Structure 1
Amino acid sequence: MHTEIAQGHCLICGAHGRLSWDHVPPQGSISITKVEQVHLTEVMGVDPVPVKGVKSPNGSKFKTICKNCNSNHLGANDQEVARVYKEITKLATDHFTYARNHLDYVSLPFDAVRFCRAMIGHILSATTVEECKREPVETPYFTPLQRFVMGDNAAIDSTHDIYCWFYPHRHHLSAKMFAFKNRGNLCTISVLSFFPLAFSITEKGKGIYPSGATKVELTDERLYVNLSSGHFPYSGFPFTGPSGDQMMLMSNSQAIVSYPIKD
């Protein structure tokens, strides 16, 4: 997030050429404001004031993907992300303000493939431009995700699981990849979190996720979100930090926190 290059390898399709800016979180799903960006490793455990980061006048953005992927694979599906986030915001507001729903869950219809395609694409883009300088290579974790974003709906069927949970926080978190160990289970995870929903990708069958998370299948026609306040202490995962025998490993350039700030 500290440097910029004009050309490089797109982190979705791998083609070399001119790179374009991708807003993470995507435009339309939040109000684009001035933000301050820091690495997650710089603010975990820091209290009460985070370290000074890099300021951006118009939201958190990354110049790491080509225009075609930005427009056709992400932009074409961002409307579904915006609709889902706005609807969950309304449902959550009604839930906590008027107590109209005595159940902890709210739900809404959604297009799981379009929603997940856009969210995974933004996760892939949210990282340092240093990755764009290297020739792309196939990896068991990222290659299926890239193929899914580019249109192969079955690419992640046997490789990844997806989870969502209520995210009642002001800051935004994008972690392209980190490893987390919990009770002997070691899992590679990606997270994109901004109010009011956190979105997580894990290795298939090895998922580590916070309490209150709901598993998402690409065949789902409705998205269910648990609004129980009992899960709030864990909703910032992995910002909550490890406890007990838990361990976490990450690259600081792949885990970015953005704080909306006033002028």
Structure 2
Amino acid sequence: IVELLAADPPRGRGRVSQNGVKYRTLCHYCNNELLGLNYDPEFNGFVNSVGSIVKSSLHLPNTLYVPAKPQMIARSLVGHIMAQRVKGYLKGPHTEDLKDWFYDKRRPIPDYMKIYYWPYPYKIQVLARDSAMRDLRTNDSAYFWLMKFFPVAFLVIWDSPSGYEYPHLNSFEDFRDLGPDEEVNMPVSLTSVPHERWPEAPENNRFCMFGEGAIGVCEKKPRSKKR
């Protein structure tokens, strides 16, 4: 992630991952039963719907609504970010309670976790957990997890620190107490899209500290044919 955000192009060759980013960190039950069969289909459906909106050439209203099950989407999101780090258990706040919430789909979204989302019409992918934003003026910090890929980005803010609220972004705030199979129309705002490098390259006297394994991912350029 540091090379991606540098002013100069990355010098390293990076690491090639065939057919997308993968981690060997989940057991069979979590990967195939909880995520694969229960949570991921809802997450994928939501992402594909946002993708259709982002790729549309039509003149669209400022806000569109996507039928979705927020509780299942939230668990899929958190489950995949949790899987990013080897031996990451008990490496951040609330992990024991978060594990229980992930297993039990009847539990509401925890009040210490705010999930924001927005359309992301860019190719660079970003994955980061156990990271923090800090304000140089107030010395306040916000602990965050981040997942960005075309066509949608998700930001998880922990413990709701003052000054790190983003009312211009859509959030899961109104969906905390829904049942796991309750479907609602989730708003997707097309007018409040942050720049490509937000929040990993913040503005307004803030900086980020990234946890172990935070990465930026781009498509591998094909080799030029020698004549």
TM-score interval, normalised by the smaller of the two chains? 0.7 to 0.9
Aligned residues between the structures: 211
Structure 1 unaligned residues grouped into runs of 5+: 1-39
Structure 1 match to 2:26: 65
In the alignment, does 2:167 pair up with 1:205? no
CA offsets, 1:173-231, max 9 Å, x none?
11112111236341111011111111121113327366742111333722212212x63
TM-score by length of 2: 0.81
| 1:210–1:50 Cα change, 3 Å | farther
In the alignment, does 2:202 pair up with 1:242? yes
Q: Paired residue for 1:260, among 209, 219, 224? A: 219
Q: CA deviation at 1:50?
A: 6.2
| 1:242–1:138 Cα change, 3 Å | closer
Q: CA deviation at 1:167?
A: 0.9
Q: CA deviation at 1:139?
A: 5.2
**Residues 80 and 110 in structure 1, CA contact (< 8 A), matched pair in contact too:** yes
Q: CA deviation at 1:255?
A: 0.9
Q: Paired residue for 2:125, among 172, 183, 186? A: 172
CA offsets, 1:111-169, max 9 Å, x none?
01111111110000012x3x26xxx5485333333222212543642321111111111
Divergent runs of 4+, >6 A: none
Q: Paired residue for 2:186, among 219, 223, 229? A: 223
| 1:257–1:202 Cα change, 3 Å | same
**Residues 161 and 205 in structure 1, CA contact (< 8 A), matched pair in contact too:** yes
TM-score by length of 1: 0.71
Q: CA deviation at 1:172?
A: 1.2
CA offsets, 1:48-99, max 9 Å, x none?
45642111122110111111111122112211111111111112222xx121
> In angstroms, what is the RMSD of aligned CA positions?
2.5
Structure with a larger share of its residues in strand: 1
Structure 2 unaligned residues grouped into runs of 5+: 223-227
The letter of the residue matching 1:246 is R
**Residues 43 and 50 in structure 1, CA contact (< 8 A), matched pair in contact too:** no
Q: Identity, % of aligned pairs? A: 21
In structure 1, the residue corresponding to 2:144 is in which secondary structure? strand
Q: Distance in 1 between matches of 2:123 and 2:42?
A: 22
